[in-house]
Structure 1
């Protein structure tokens, strides 16, 4: 069947050849309708394929890694949708081969626009292969700390302790120093105070009694209290305690408040 193009239809209309114009226009409309059906069908296939693959993956080991699962499903869905779009263009009469070949000519121009996207995609694959973190783990990247919630084909999503959603490009994450607090079974918290020298022993006793009541503070390793400086009638000391990574932020905030309240009740002066 001869390919019908919009240019040929307009040419027939300009020549006044209404017979060919009507026939070619009707054929083009049918082709467009079929192409739209193909594209919509590919979207539906992608949707059901994603749902079906999701159920299959949920029964395997991949279900234990939501980042890998979601990344794979998203990539599969996008691939099917793009293939459906290209097939639809071919059915209308668009020469996809010429289009792809043309990308070699315009590749330099498009490269500047899509280099970041491709870089983020490649970085996302590397993050999935080496897995420096998983969903639900607390990490820190370039001073930003939060819980990993999702890894897409171009970025990762994190939620900070104050509920802010942070979106970082994969390439930036891969090229930065990643601190994963969840890989360790415990995390150390440090409290530093400065009191009058004669009140040092009392202050240490107050701190010990407060910390013993918090079950989130681990018994092993034991809390450590050490004097870090003495001078001008004052003493500076630090208390080191260990807690689970997921309890760290809450313990630091709660213990500071409770220790200050205990100091006030014992009339201890914080310098």
Structure 2
């Protein structure tokens, strides 16, 4: 017991200084985490008004940098030389960079996407045979919501090096090819189709529609119909309604929509 007391008395100043250093390091780490989170939220809230994807990416980057600085300060409070820490981090950084080159490529790809800004949140894009709405851009990947509800998560490095088609627009063109019988009057058919288009409120009248023959098919005169509609009205629904109305109008005016026919001639040889 006496030996323990002597040990504690002799090492008490060292234990006190070590305890204070550990407490300081913990406080620095805790406050570093708090301030990193605080700055991340503030930056995200400020930049969200301009671009949510940009805000999310920069906020994540600021959080990582702030917390890294706080951890270096915490280690310095323990008496570890910061120059040694930076040297170790530099050496470790090279090894980590070699081991995680794919992840670092994704971070670099994310930075490229942020700088070039080929899309923003909510944009409809087509990439690598995938078509969907952009939900988020993080440090390592980009999330795209597919039309069937599935979520595609793609590494930023693949997106930065891929061909991106941004099809976001308030309006979208609807195209449909309709065949009528060769005996049909071209002007009457064109007039019927234009009347149907004019009667539909969901078709944008500011964009001139196109109605005309674009092909002489084996069994029909093929009219190409091109109109514009707003995305908010639902492109597939507008297209379906257009087809239904044209079919009804053709039936009312006895305009034939022919089906594929095959004429077979039988020749009887004389005996």
1:37 aligns with 2:27: yes
Q: Alpha carbon RMSD of aligned pairs, Å?
A: 3.6
Task: Structure 1: state its 5+ residue gaps.
Answer: 1-16
- Give a deviation string over 1:137-178, Cα, whole Å, max 9, x none: 322222322233332222333333343333322222221122
Instruction: Determine which of 182, 185, 192 is the counterpart of 2:177.
Output: 192
Count residues in correspondence: 250
Match of 2:243 in 1: 259
Correspondences of 1:113-124 after superposition (within 5 Å): 113-124=99-110
Is the Cα–Cα contact under 8 Å of residues 219 and 258 in structure 2 kept in the other structure?
A: no
Gaps in structure 2 of 5+ consecutive residues: 1-6, 260-271
**Bigger radius of gyration, 1 or 2?**
2
Q: Is the aligned partner of 1:149 residue 2:139?
A: no
Indicate if the aligned counterparts of 1:120 and 1:170 stay in contact, CA closer than 8 A. Answer: yes
Distance (whole Å) between structure 2 residues aligned to residue 233 and residue 158 of structure 1: 43
Partner of 2:265: none
Match of 1:11 in 2: none
Contact 1:193 1:238 in 2 (8 A): yes
CA distance in 2: counterparts of 1:19 and 1:207, whole angstroms: 101
Structure having the higher helix fraction is 1
Listed as ranges, the matches of 1:9-158 within 5 Å are 28=18, 30-54=20-44, 57=46, 63-94=49-80, 96-158=82-144
Q: Deviations over 1:23-52 (max 9, x none)?
A: 766655554343222211111112222344
Closer, same or farther: CA 255–117 of 1 in aligned 2, 3 Å: same
Task: Say which SS state the counterpart of residue 35 (structure 1) adopts.
Answer: helix
In 2 relative to 1, CA 45–195 (structure 1 residues): closer, same or farther, beyond 3 Å? same
* 8 A contact 2:172–2:235 mirrored in 1: no
